[in-house]
A and B are shown apart, each in its own frame.
Chain A
């Protein structure tokens, strides 16, 4: 595909209002929808491009929010900050439609300015959330969002909060820590996120049971391969006969690779980059890494096939792919990818059980 990246970049950077950005977003989605209808299989570089454009939209929304705050008398940002994406955005793995999964981290300041600075970023977060909504990114159901004070703090507060989570690793806290693992700075210099994640990764190494807890937190997503080597399909309702590619294939692989990366103190967030790093650092044997890469690439591409056109002409996704949409060869390829996913899960379980 020849996505006109430069042209889009120019148009997005020139958008002067959230509404304007929303219009650009609609056109972009339309363009991608047409593109997806015209191809058999998406390429990884095309997915990367789509994610770069998502970043442009988000960056422009933040710039416009800063301008709006200035216009309203709040002035420019009082200290430097990073706007963070979590989830698929953080991993650079967004499809067409993604919820907002984001947060904010800002520089520490002396005590007497703290109140003003907190107030600024609170207001900025509100503005960004609303702006992103207008640009076509609905707020996150799970409340992992910059307007939630849990995800909007100064570096020092982040570190305190993180330590709390490490020290009291019950299910919810472990979930938060796993969310943090996928954090990526989409706006700002990225130094603050880097600092936070360095502390995070060191803390993981020094907290003996946390990997075990992280593993158990994600194990409930089962790979959709039955004991007879068959694909497990949805049984009932509109999903009947469908394969849950998102939770039965994609998420288990993402979780597995993330866990290995956390253990190896890898900073990268994208699953494919993580696999590269795991290979480079000899954390997993090269043969395994190549298998993971090929299996994940295949599953990741299938995720884009789960996007379907709704009656109103918009693409959406419930992560389900009708098994009938796949040829026999494609089904076999999926099964072999899932077998690798299973092997990955077993490998991790063995690795973490033996180290804890």
Chain B
């Protein structure tokens, strides 16, 4: 590969990495805005802190467990405490350094998604320990299965940018966490009805979504990895279409069913569209991206209600946005993948059910999403159950009421405002 091509690939991938890392900023605003003022500083701070932990653990073991060359169908092995060549070497399309950075950014996103299940009641120590264990034991397994040459990639599982690997894995950890942590104080009434615990700043939430939306071009379009004939533009187009469709569908369905054009639901619809198109963005026609986005938007509304009915507290809707939409996105690839894109353009996939591929790809997608989801849930549940028994996951009732800013960090994110509102 000539140096110009390597250079172009590297710049594109580095840019994509920066965009994906910047998505952490989106998550800070999304989670802080969707939760109460008394936890805002904690939400913001812990996101940065745990990304720091994720960085070191991913460098030490995570990357090696996904891509290490001495592994098998279930786990990678090698390249621990990565010390790569400073420059691209012969045969590389881009250097390992940038590949590591890009993969690390994805792992960081999966971890941050998992925090949705901990929100407003998790102990800081639980964040610390789970960061280490998730990045070392949970994420690499699924990532290896699908992207690192594991058994699902042998079956031809199509997950272009990580509907399953990143979003579903994070959401399953969030589900395990929220089940073990139990609902926030005041979320459900004795008669089983739910209370609406409003987030403290809808503008933050919306800005968070916009930052995520922009970052997603790094996530999806960046996953082309190479510049080539600028196929990343096509991936970006599909990403944009699905996000828009998701936002519209979610707002309309909420409006139709509840009579209220609910802003948080609409924002979740945009995110659900993005999550869903993540698996299929390189495999489908633009019209299909719109359909995938619409279905994701409708699904996220139903899923939010569903978890509430089950009395599972999902403070920032991670289960619905990343879980339900992640599953749908993965399956949608088995339906809408076109032969032209999968076989000719990408040269590593198969057409879906609607494009003459029969049920084979759809079957692989369903098997992949079921096994990956099950593994991520069971592994996270076991880890968290042990942590719960040994150290506890949840702050005390008093601490939860006073807020995690004060209980976990000793100072408020908004000192003046919180004191005023408590007077």
Q: Which one of B193, B196, B257, B259 has the greatest number of beta carbons of chain A within 10 Å?
A: B259
- Residue B423 at the chain A interface, CB threshold 8 Å: no
| Count of inter-chain pairs, beta carbons less than 8 A | 32
Bound-state Cα–Cα, A241 to B192, Å: 11
Query: How does the 8 Å CB contact mask read for B232-275 relative to A, with 1 for contact and 0 for none?
Result: 00000000000000000000000111110000000000000000
Q: Would you give the shortest CB distance from A311 to chain B, in whole angstroms?
A: 14
Contacts of B189 in A (CB 8 A): 237-238, 240
Q: Tell me whether A228 and B256 are in contact (CB under 8 A).
A: yes
Mask: chain A, 238-261; 1 = CB below 8 Å from B; 0 = not: 101100000000000000000000
Chain A hits for B53, CB < 8 A? none
**Chain B residues with CB below 8 A from A233, complex form:** 258
Q: Which residues of chain B are within 8 angstroms of A235 by Cβ–Cβ distance?
A: 194, 196, 258
| Distance, CA A217 to CA B108, complexed state (A) | 51
Q: Is B421 an interface residue (CB 8 A)?
A: no
Digitize A268-300: 1 where CB-to-B-CB distance is under 8 Å, 0 elsewhere: 000000000000000000000000000000000
> In this assembly, does B420 line the interface, its C-beta being within 8 Å of a C-beta of chain A?
no
- Cα-based distance from A333 to B149 in the complex (angstroms): 62
Chain B's closest residue to A236 (CB) is: B196
Interface assignment of A222: CB less than 8 Å from any CB of chain B: yes
Q: Does A224 touch B at the CB level, under 8 Å?
A: yes
Please give, as numbers and ranges, the residues of chain B lying within 8 Å of A224 by CB-CB distance: 259
| Total count of chain A residues near the partner, CB < 8 A | 14
CB closest residue in chain B, given A237:
B195
**How far does the Cβ of B315 sit from chain A's closest Cβ, in whole Å?**
14
Partner of A222, one of B193, B195, B196, B259: B259
Measured between beta carbons, the chain A residues less than 8 angstroms from B195 are 236-237
Q: Mark A179-197, 1 if CB is under 8 A from B, else 0.
A: 0000000000000000000
A201 CB to closest chain B CB, in angstroms? Answer: 34
Q: Which of B178-206 contact A (CB under 8 A)?
A: 189, 193-196
* A126, CB-defined interface residue at 8 Å: no
B194 touches A227 (CB 8 A): no
Contact of B258 among A232, A237, A238, A241 (CB under 8 A): A232
- Residue A226, interface by CB 8 Å: yes
Residues in chain A within 8 A of chain B (CB atoms): 222, 224, 226-228, 230, 232-233, 235-238, 240-241
Q: 6 closest A-B pairs (Cβ-Cβ)?
A: A240-B193, A236-B196, A232-B259, A227-B256, A237-B195, A236-B195
Query: Interface residues, chain B, CB within 8 Å of chain A?
Result: 189, 193-196, 255-259
Task: With A224-B259, A236-B193, A237-B195 given, name 19 new contacts (CB 8 A).
Answer: A226-B256, A226-B257, A226-B259, A227-B255, A227-B256, A228-B256, A228-B257, A232-B258, A233-B258, A235-B194, A235-B196, A235-B258, A236-B195, A237-B189, A237-B193, A237-B196, A238-B189, A240-B189, A241-B193
